[in-house]
Every structure is written in structure tokens, then in C-alpha cells.
Chains A and B, each alone.
Chain A
Amino acid sequence: MRLHPFRLVEPESVRDAIDALQQLDGEARLVAGGTALIAMIRLGLVKPDRLISLHRVRELRQIRVDNGWLELGAMATHAEIERSRPVRTGWPLLAEAVHRVATPAIRTSGTIGGNLAYAEAASDPAPALLCLNAEVVVAGRGGIRTVPVSRFFRSFYEAALDPAEIVTAVRVPPTPAGARGGYVKYTSRSEEDKPLVGVAALVVLDASGRCQDVRLALGGAAPTPIRTEGAERTLRGEALTDSAVRAAADVAAQQADPLTDLMGSADYRREMIRVWVRRLLMSLRDAGR
């Protein structure tokens, strides 16, 4: 079964890709790994006449550490990121979340830039990047701008990108010293499915076990991936006692605005947020014992 026919444009630089986007003015779609877009074309959900492939843009493939910050080129694949030594040692929360994306074959092709630009609510990397206070680097005709991941998702499948803009990189500040992080992905059908809910957390505990820093983010819990500031506030300066953790999990579940779909109902999702926030925070607390 063939795809709806399209012409493929293969620019070799970000500048040429932006020019192509501009010239084709809304007629073209960008393709990175294609794991989402080609499936959408196959299903007839979109029928673009042109695809602009970013595969030949070498400058987008790098994974490097610059001044303590991790910089992932937008075309870095999940497989490359999960295997990257700097990522595994310096940003283990990100390596863990990226490792949970779909299946090995999807991770070979899927890219971090494509994942974010697709703005899937149930993204695995997004909650980890939210906890890490990452930034998205976006290039357009006017130059380059940087958007915090927390402001990058506008709504359901909609990123804060203008039509002639391209995600070029994701920049991640250093993981705080002494941080414990974790990502749990709960699926309701099979293990490699999209998360029904995904929970990422990062905590820094002081000598008496109180939260100096606490960050909590959810996927599949709202039209976009979200940070749960309300739940974070209830824990700041507090020890992760069972009752404090339960209270924070309740706040996270209340703040969530989940959807009903084939994977589960909104009520079920809310309940699973409560369960998995609680379990993750308790496991981070107990990891140090």
C-alpha cells in the first residue's frame, strides 16, 4: 500500500530548510524521523504535496556538552540519546525517559526535535525535559530564539512554532547536584504503547531529607505535557513522608486535565496520576536508604 504521493525536498542547511518552508508557504511539511508523519500520511490524516526532509542537515545531528549544558541537535535520535555517555552520566533522567519511547526500531528513527514539534501530550521525553528546565532552540527567518519547554507546548498537538520555523536543538542545563530523578510510564495496553500517564520527577533532598528542590511533570495528563507546580509547592521544604507524598499526588491529580481516549477514561487517568506520582516520589525517597 503506497503513501499518497509527495515531492521530497532535501535541503542541506537550516537556512535552506527555512527558505524552502517559506517558499512553499504552508504547502509543505517538515519530516525528521517520520515515525509520526509517515504513519499519519499512511492513515490519510494529512496529504502534503511536499515534504521537506531534514536528514541532510548535518548541523542538526550533534549531541554535545557546552559549558555544562547538554545540547541535543534536533535530529539526534532517541537511540543515539539513550546510548550517549554524556547523557547517561550527566542527565540520567533524560536517558531513562528516552529509553521508554515506543520500541527499539522507532527509537532508531525518531528524533528529539520531531518528538517535541509533534507536541504529543503523551510524549515520554517531554516530562523529563520539563523537570530539567530544558529549552527549545527555534530558527526562523528572523534568526534564532529560545523557548523554555514549559512554554513550548501550546495545545493538543500544537507547538509554539510559526509556519516557517524549525526546531534546531534542545538545550538542557546541568542536572542539580545530588538530584534524584526518575520517570515512570504507565501503559494500559502493552508495554511499548504510548503512556496512559507518564510521570517524571527530580528531587534534591537536604541532610534531613527535606526537599530543597522538587520538580514534577506529567505526560498524558492534559492536552500538553505539564509541570505540576501546585504539587511541587506542597513539597518544597518538606520531607517526603507518606502523608506529604499522598497530599502532593492528590494535588497533581486535581491539576491534571486528562482526556478520555481508547487507552483510558479521564477519570481513570486522574486516578493513575495519583497512584504513579505517589509511587515515584516514594521510590525516589527510598532510593537513598
Chain B
Amino acid sequence: MKLAFTLNGRPCDTATPDHWTVLDLLRDGLDLMGTKYGCGEGVCGTCTVLADGRPIRACLVLAAHVRGRAVVTVEGLETDGRLDPLQTAFAERGAAQCGYCTPGIMLAARALLTENPTPTEHEVREALSGNLCRCTGYTKIIEAVLAVAGSK
């Protein structure tokens, strides 16, 4: 089926098999490999992208269901070659180890900070509750998000 939506700020006119999810479309239809396949069941959070500013599970949402919506992936976090402050904070603080969960975590954090620019640590933990990281133990991730919140 034909499908038009906004992808990382630009119009995207494409086509998708009916049974493809947003994740299938991003990776295999549009060659955007930043969004990762993890569990495929909506549990682990690695495939998190934004739809109209809110986090979604790209592995559970049908591609057809983002028709007309604004989707942002990790490739769209930077603006004019400048990294999002979250990306800088993650890099500076070593908030990634293997990096597989990082795109999903940064997008979940971006959604939080856009809606609530000054979250408490509890609110950060709650916002990231659906994103599993098996390397870091979360400490540096949460510090990085709070650092960006504090810098604004």
C-alpha cells in the first residue's frame, strides 16, 4: 500500500506491504539502520522511535498506522549536523557500552524532555522504564538525561 508521512522532518512518500511494521519499513524499506530489532514483542524498547513526539514501539506498530504522522528516528535527532544535547551528554558521560539500546533510550528521553524539560530523577526512571540496557546498569544513562535537563 502507499504511505505518506513525515520522517525526520521531511515528507516521505513510500509504499509498504500491508503486514510490515514501522521497524520493517525503516530498516528494510528505507535503509535507516539506527532503529534496532530487539525482542519483537514490545518489551525491550530498542526499537523505540517517536510518532508525533511520543515514543512508540516500531516493532508493534503497523507501518500503515503512522500515515500522516511525524516520525523521528535516531537519524533525525541531530539538526543541521549539530547533535542533540542528549547525544552529546551520552557521549561525554559514557552512557553507552554496546550501544544497541542507545537509540531507543535517547528517543524515549527526548520525548520526556520535550514534554517535561525539568524532570525529576523519578520521572526520568519512569520514562525509561520500557527501555532495557543489559550493559550499563542505567546510572550513567540517567545522569546524562538529568544533565541535559539541568542545562536548560
Residues of chain A whose beta carbon lies under 8 Å from any beta carbon of chain B:
1-8, 10, 31, 33-35, 38-39, 42-43, 51, 53, 55, 79, 102-106, 108-109, 190-192
Contact = CB atoms under 8 A, between A and B. Distances in A.
Given A105-B42, A105-B45, A105-B56, 10 more contacts: A2-B24, A6-B19, A10-B64, A39-B60, A43-B41, A51-B62, A55-B67, A103-B131, A104-B126, A109-B61
B64 A5 contact: no
A35 B60 contact: yes
A108 B62 CA distance: 13
Interface stretch (B47-55, B71-79, B90-98, B140-148): B47-55
Contact of A53 (B17, B37, B62): B62
Contacts of A191: 129
B62 A8 contact: yes
A39 B55 CA distance: 17
Given A104-B127, A105-B56, A109-B56, A31 B62 contact: yes
Contacts of B60: 34-35, 38-39, 109
Nearest to B23: A1
Contacts of A38: 21, 42, 59-62
A55 B58 CA distance: 16
Given A35-B42, A39-B60, A8 B19 contact: yes
Given A3-B19, A6-B18, A108-B56, A103 B64 contact: no
Contacts of B37: 1
B54 A35 contact: no
B34 interface: no
A106 B130 contact: yes
B119 interface: no
A106 B39 CA distance: 14
A191 B41 CA distance: 17
Contacts of B40: 1, 39, 42
A7 B108 contact: no
Nearest to A190: B129
B10 interface: no
A281 B90 CA distance: 43
Among the interface residues B18, B129, B131, which one has the most CB atoms of the partner chain A within 10 A? Answer: B18
